[in-house]
Structure 1
């Protein structure tokens, strides 16, 4: 039974990010992409149906890639940065046109800084304590990381105590074949890394992988609706 303690108040998720997430709750992670190729991959993802794309900051010249994506892609796409490890990086991402901060950890200072600057934030959390601290600091969604270590049983346990309107987003080891088990446990979306994009692959391969994930997501939702 959910009660007033399920969700720290106020919970005001980033409207544009949540609209994109509602359209397609699959977050594309382009780790290792370069500025010269990023637009082709971004367009392939958009054409397949993706509406959220992140460039991890440990990629080559990531801010240039973020700026190029923001300029090239339609306004309904949210472009952001992943692997944001320090608060000062938030401003760099915002100045490049980024609208989303994704982290592997639950640093509450980074979350608060992102929200103060008007960006959405998806912190990485691995325990309920981290999850509720992140929400209290303004997190828009909870990135359950690493998903292959946490497993579906943890997603199910968290779903029982975290308000349903808070999206749970497993990241790590997600494939088109295993999304259904996470969704059945209570996941609302996914962050997709190497199964979608690996550094050096061409845009045609990214498009093929993107279509496979979109098709799998649609199948999962059809099954859940039965």
Structure 2
């Protein structure tokens, strides 16, 4: 069963992204997001797709417009992650045959996202929603809804989120920050995978 961990490579450069993608996949993390406010993000996404597209789900984060969705599709991306719930972005993502993970923090946003075709919900920032908030919202969501906590989550609180039924996590600075070498990323990824495997139900 694939691990529901999304590696968020905010700020990654095309000249380093392949080496970083390799250590993530070696560690067992096979969903990788390059935020659109990174340097030349489409180049990085294309390189990841060319090198690892048969082994990993590669896509973009911080996607705010339908045009960006189409741009990501043009380089082979398979998933679109957004900080907000934008029906136009969700619908364009699905029309392009990609998976949609919009950002939500309220029941209204959750149901709006699902009605427009979201594949999963990104609770962002997770530390504002909290485990109690997620527990309350999950009580009214369809049982099969995939939920991801992003922002302020890591190995020290995976267990708390799993207890309230989270599907998985998006990890940014806990895996990669600007200036981190592939070795740095490999160590962090290994720790995250170990904690995820030990704590998931």
TM-score range, shorter chain: over 0.9
Q: Per the alignment, in what secondary structure is the counterpart of residue 36 of structure 1?
A: helix
Q: CA deviation at 1:192?
A: 0.5
Question: Is the counterpart of residue 183 in structure 1 residue 165 in structure 2?
Answer: no
Tell me the TM-score normalised to structure 2 length: 0.98
CA separation in 2, counterparts of 1:81 and 1:93? 7
Q: Which runs of 4+ in 1 moved over 6 A?
A: none
Counterpart CA distance in 1 for 2:78 and 2:52 is: 13
Residue 174 of structure 1: which of 143, 149, 153 is its match? 153
Matched, 1:92 2:71: yes
Tell whether 2:99 aligns with 1:126.
Answer: no
Whole-angstrom distance in 2 between the partners of 1:100 and 1:156: 26
Distance apart, 1:196 and its partner CA: 1.1
- Specify which of 7, 12, 15 is matched with residue 36 of structure 1: 15
Q: Which moved more, 1:69-78 or 1:120-129?
A: 69-78
Task: Mark the runs of 5 or more structure 1 residues left unpaired by the alignment.
Answer: 1-21
Which residue of the other structure, out of 35, 44, 52, is the alignment partner of 1:73?
Answer: 52
Report how many residues are paired. 201
In the alignment, what sits opposite 1:204? 183
Provide the TM-score with structure 1 as the length reference. Answer: 0.87
SS in 2 for 1:195: coil
Cα offsets for 1:3-31 (capped at 9, x unmatched): xxxxxxxxxxxxxxxxxxx5110000000
SS in 2 for 1:60: coil
Q: Deviations over 1:102-142 (max 9, x none)?
A: 00000011000000110101000010000001000000000
C-alpha separation in 1, matches of 2:145 and 2:40: 33
